Amino acid sequence: MRLDRIAIVGGARLKGEIPISGAKNSAIKLMAASLLTEEPLRLTNMPRLADTRFLGKLLQRLGAEVVESDGPEGSETLLTTREIVSGFAPYDLVRQMRASFNVLGPLLARSGQAKVSLPGGCTIGARPVDLHLQALEALGARIDLHEGYVYAQAPRGLRGAEIEFPFVSVGATEHTLLAAVLAKGDTEIRNAACEPEIEDLADCLNKMGAKVSGAGTSVIQIEGVARLSGATHAVLADRIETGTYALAAAMAGGEVRLTRTRSDFIQALVDKMVEAGVEVTAHNDGLTVKRNGGRLKAVDVETDPYPGFATDLQAQFMALMTLAEGESVIKETIFENRFMHAPELRRLGADITVHGGEARVRGVEALEGAQVMATDLRASVSLVIAGLAARGETVVNRVYHLDRGFERLEEKLGACGAQIRRIKGDGTGEED
């Protein structure tokens, strides 16, 4: 299979404005919520990504009508599931994106049965779905695992329950929300994840007639309702894209204004960037990142659930630290195998040593362009960020990872002066 590549000639300072797209991690859960009602769900500020396309295909198989259009507020997706025509989500579709497993809860809540493939392995760690299944069982579902599939039944409907997660899980919190809104009685989720995307999902569900309170805190209450209706909802800004372009501006130098977003979504990152010597200014519709001259200072970071430092920004921050003065220690506490970008950054001349969940980055004077290989979504964009500052040309292979989570990456960076281009179909590789 012939794959696209992205080539970057480093050294160009960035200057301009980058509008931030809707959040991928929110959009895909909002799309799954369309299975909960027979009425239309209109999502605005929708990102156009490989992941949203994958989920759209799966939803169509299950009975949804998916219509994409361009509205006054940007891209829109209208999803209408008048009836569930199939409760079967096959491996060939679910394996393309783990989050598509979250159709299980809505299918179970609305039709009382589902057969959904387990999502399989993941390059950045195991990411098991045990908590998802335990929560559904607590809500009254009968769960059987057979030949890689989850067979779930709740012929008399789901019922409210008290659910306490042993550790914070964004996916399990969202999945429980999606199932419990149509359960009979009340549900309380304790030790819930607090990410903005969970608040966004709850806001949308409430517009559809759900009764959810406490989203964004560690305790969420859901009063089950008999049915949900249609609604219109704008997807919130992508905080990971916001942080990624903020780090790109810091790496390349110059001044970039990020719009249609919120700086408080990435406050933990902003604090570390300021500590490293980057100027960050918040404004009403986003933030401005500025770095003119002067070497960065090494800063230690440790990933944590929100509002801590996001694991999805760890690779990008490591790229920034490769040119900082001194040694930074980066600790990854969320996923056990999320330093696969380190060997690729070393190909550019970075000095990085990894021991288990800890990476030590000793800043170097300069990076040198080279051929590198993307291993996952966030790792791939860290290589683009490094390439912006490396001498000569950096070519990032297997960029289909990038297309899963970044909308018009080359266009947005290019508009600010980056020398970046896509090479169509000239890379070769195996599909994961």
Q: Annotated catalytic sites, by residue?
A: 122
Q: What letter represents residue 190's amino acid?
A: R
Q: How far apart are CA 392 and CA 299, in angstroms?
A: 27
Cβ-based neighbours of 71, under 8 Å, separated by 6 or more = 44
Contact 361, 348 (CB under 8 A): no
Q: How far apart are CA 288 and CA 263, in angstroms?
A: 9
What number of other Cβ atoms are within 10 A of residue 279's Cβ?
Answer: 13
Residue 378 labeled ligand binder: no
Residue 96 to residues 86, 328, 362: CA-CA distances in angstroms?
A: 19, 35, 36
Residue 270 labeled ligand binder: no
Residue 131 labeled ligand binder: yes
Q: How far apart are CA 5 and CA 2, in angstroms?
A: 10
Contact 326, 310 (CB under 8 A): no
The reply to whether omega before 307 is within 30° of 0 (cis) is: yes
Backbone dihedral angles phi then psi of residue 234, each to the nearest 5 degrees: -90, 125
CA 334 to chain centre: 14
Q: How far apart are CA 24 and CA 279, in angstroms?
A: 27
B/e letters for 190-223, b = 16+ CB within 10 Å, e = fewer, are eebbbbbbbbbbbbbbbebbbebebbbeeebbbe
Range list of β-strands (E), 284-391: 286-291, 301-302, 327-331, 351-355, 358-362, 371-373
Structure tokens at 77: 């997706």
Structure tokens at 24: 């991928």
Residue 184 labeled ligand binder: no
CA 282 to chain centre: 23
Residue 189 labeled ligand binder: no
Q: How far apart are CA 186 and CA 182, in angstroms?
A: 10
Structure tokens at 217: 């805190």
Residue 25 labeled ligand binder: yes
Residue 312 labeled ligand binder: yes
Q: How far apart are CA 51 and CA 26, in angstroms?
A: 11
Element (H, E) at 78: strand 74-80
Q: How far apart are CA 251 and CA 241, in angstroms?
A: 15
Structure tokens at 89: 């989500």
Residue 130 labeled ligand binder: yes
Residue numbers in the known binding site for UDP-N-acetyl-alpha-D-glucosamine are 98, 127-131, 312, 334
Residue numbers in the known binding site for phosphoenolpyruvate are 24-25
Residue numbers in the known binding site are 24-25, 98, 127-131, 312, 334
